[in-house]
Amino acid sequence: MKDLTKSMDDKLVKGLRNKMAEYETELYDLKATITKKDEEIKKLEDNDSNLDSELEQGKTKITELENLVKELTSSKESINSEVGDLKSQIEVLNKKIDELNNSLTEKDSKLDELTKVISESEKIIEEQKASLNKAEGELAELKPAAPTEYSSEDRLICPSCGAVGKDIKSEEDKSKVLGYIGHSPMYGKINVCKKCGQQF
């Protein structure tokens, strides 16, 4: 009976030991699993921290971008306003340019007219100069050899009555036009006897 009891105790102890070994193995596995999970949790926490940091950076970036958008919008409005002002100034300048072009066209036309008038005037002046030179030449040819008042050594004698000296005068011959100075005619000369009126 005693041996039987001892045998049963041994089996019970052995069973308990085996069970403890199983529990210890399971406990070891659980600890390893817990350690692994702790590592995973730490990684997740690190990732979460990194994500929080990235999220904050993203928020900061978004804020910066929003501010940049506001600045760009304000700049765009300012630029649009400046563009509007410049377009208005360009329109004013274009009108002035058109006015100046029209004025230049009118002045060019007047200048052409004045040039024609000057050219025609120069031609008339040249013609008058030529006519004057011709008249002066003819006048020089027809000019009497002695002056109106003659000296005792060189006297004209009236072919009709023989009068001489102061009895002979020189007059313009209206029938003989030598030329024109401007609009005034130049006449030739003729000798007239004061005593008998003979022309020669």
Task: At 151, list the tokens.
Answer: 């000296």
CA distances from 50 to 28, 38, 57, 65 (A): 32, 18, 10, 22
Q: What is the pTM of this model?
A: 0.35
Given this model, what pLDDT does residue 149 score?
44
Q: What is the DSSP string of 48-104?
A: HHHHHHHHHHHHHHHHHHHHHHHHHHHHHHHHHHHHHHHHHHHHHHHHHHHHHHHHH
Q: What is the mean pLDDT of the chain?
A: 79
Q: What is the SS3 assignment for 176?
A: strand
Which residues have CB under 8 Å from 165's CB, separation 6+?
A: 150, 152, 155
Given this model, what pLDDT does residue 156 score?
79
Kindly report, residue by residue over 62-91, the tens digit of the pLDDT. 888 888 888 888 888 888 888 888 888 888
Task: At 172, list the tokens.
Answer: 């313009």
Given this model, what pLDDT does residue 9 score?
65
Given this model, what pLDDT does residue 118 score?
87
CA distances from 93 to 49, 84, 89, 103, 117 (A): 64, 14, 6, 15, 35
User: Is residue 150 pLDDT above 70, yes or no?
Assistant: no
The residue behind tokens 């060189």 is 154
Task: At 54, list the tokens.
Answer: 């990235």
User: Is residue 3 pLDDT above 80, yes or no?
Assistant: no
Given this model, what pLDDT does residue 172 score?
84
Given this model, what pLDDT does residue 31 score?
85
Q: Give the Cα separation of 116 and 124 in Å (integer).
A: 12
User: Is residue 189 pLDDT above 80, yes or no?
Assistant: yes
Given this model, what pLDDT does residue 141 score?
61
Kindly report, residue by residue over 96-149, the tens digit of the pLDDT. 888 888 888 888 888 888 888 888 888 888 888 887 777 777 666 665 544 444
155 by Cβ neighbours in 10 Å (0-12 / 13-18 / 19+) ranks as: middle
DSSP H or E stretch at residue 108:
helix 2-142
Residue with the larger pLDDT of the pair 6 and 20: 20
Averaged pLDDT, 185-194: 85
Task: At 21, list the tokens.
Answer: 């070994």
User: Is residue 171 pLDDT above 80, yes or no?
Assistant: yes
Given this model, what pLDDT does residue 5 score?
59
Dihedral Cα 157, 163, 166, 169, nearest 10 deg: -70
Given this model, what pLDDT does residue 162 score?
84
Domain ranges of the chain: 57-143, 146-200
